[in-house]
Every structure is written in structure tokens, then in C-alpha cells.
Amino acid sequence: MSKLEAPYSLLGRQYATQEDYPTKKCKYFFMGFITALVLTLLGGTAFQLYMSSSKVVTVSSGRLTHRWPEPPPHDQVARVARYVVHISEWASIATISTADPIKGYPFGNIMSISDGTVDRSSGTPYAYITRMDLSGKDLLMDNRATLSISEAQSDYCQKHDLDPEDPRCARILLTGTMEEVRPVRCLHTCCHSL
């Protein structure tokens, strides 16, 4: 069979020439698809670069993610302390133990803290401590305590390649007396913050 003969025979199509395939439509579809794919990848990369360069610190708690501004300059000690309390979700509490085996010795424990709701922070840490907890029992007998809080809870120290013990990764030690929150309004605010 030569190229001049009809492409069909009694048995059906036997061969096809270059003109029989719709290659131009396919070519334009694939070019458009590849262009859209490249633009999407470039847009995603640009967005990631923008997000990594923006001045936010992310603190993650379960499924929630909060964005906080950069910390204040480290020479402003009081502002840094309030900032670290605000971004922190937990702290270490040290009390004087009342449990028989270690009575009179320092006792450390971990607890959740909050300084108010996200939009109404105070810098004053609040914690829900049950009277059944060892620290709660200790505080009923002697309300002196020390809270240890670290900026390492946020991703700020990790982003700046700082070890949690590096002085530029702030650590706050609050020593004093713990007070039980009694007014109903304060209790309502505290419970919604934790």
C-alpha cells in the first residue's frame, strides 16, 4: 500500500499518516499544563519565602497554631518577661514538698499556664492546680513557689539556631507566693484562658 491509497480497507484502518493525529491540540494542552504547574510551584515557593521572612513566632498547641510578634529587645527585661509568659503554654513549678518521703525538700512539677486570653494578655501567669496534685497540696501548706518558663517553647530559638540554654533564648524565673483566685469574674476569665 502506498501513501496515496485510502487509509481504510475492508478490514478497517491499517495505517495512519502524521496528519491524522491531533498533535497540535495535545501539544498546546501539555504546554499550558506545564506552564500552570511551574507558576503554581513558583507561587508556592514565593509564599514560603514570604512566610519564613515575616516576623512571626509560631506556638503550637495540639491542633491550634498562634502567631506572635517577635520578642522585644533583650535589654528590656520586664517586657521580655511578660512576652515569654504570654507565649508560654506550660511552666515548671517548684514548691516545698509536704509529701512524707521528701517532706521539706524542693519539688518540681510541670503545669499549664496562661496570662489571659490571646487578645487580652496581662503578663501575670494563671494556672489551674487541683488540690489533689502534689504541687496543689504543697501550696495549701506553704504558698511559696518558683515558676520556670522558657522562650524555647516557641520556634523563635530554633529559627535562630539557639540552644535552649543560650542566654539569647530567654528564661524566666518567677519566685514569690501563689495566690488562689477566688472572685467569680477572674475565675471565669482564667478558665477560658487555660
Domain ranges of the chain: 12-53, 70-193
**How far is residue 115's CA from residue 126's CA, in Å, rounded to a whole number?**
6
CATH fold group of domain 70-193: Pnp Oxidase; Chain A (2.30.110)
Q: How many angstroms separate the Cα of 68 from the Cα of each of 78, 129, 189?
A: 17, 26, 21
What does the pLDDT profile of the chain (194 residues) look like in tens digits?
555 555 555 555 555 555 555 556 666 777 888 888 888 888 877 777 666 655 555 555 554 566 667 889 989 999 999 999 988 889 999 999 999 999 999 999 999 998 877 677 788 888 888 889 999 999 999 999 999 999 988 888 888 888 988 988 999 999 999 988 876 666 666 565 55
Q: How many angstroms separate the Cα of 13 from the Cα of each of 2, 10, 16?
A: 14, 8, 8
Q: pTM to 2 decimals?
A: 0.61
* CA-angle at 56, arms to 52 and 58, nearest 5°: 95
Among 107, 87, 109, 88, which residue's Cα sits nearest to residue 98? 107
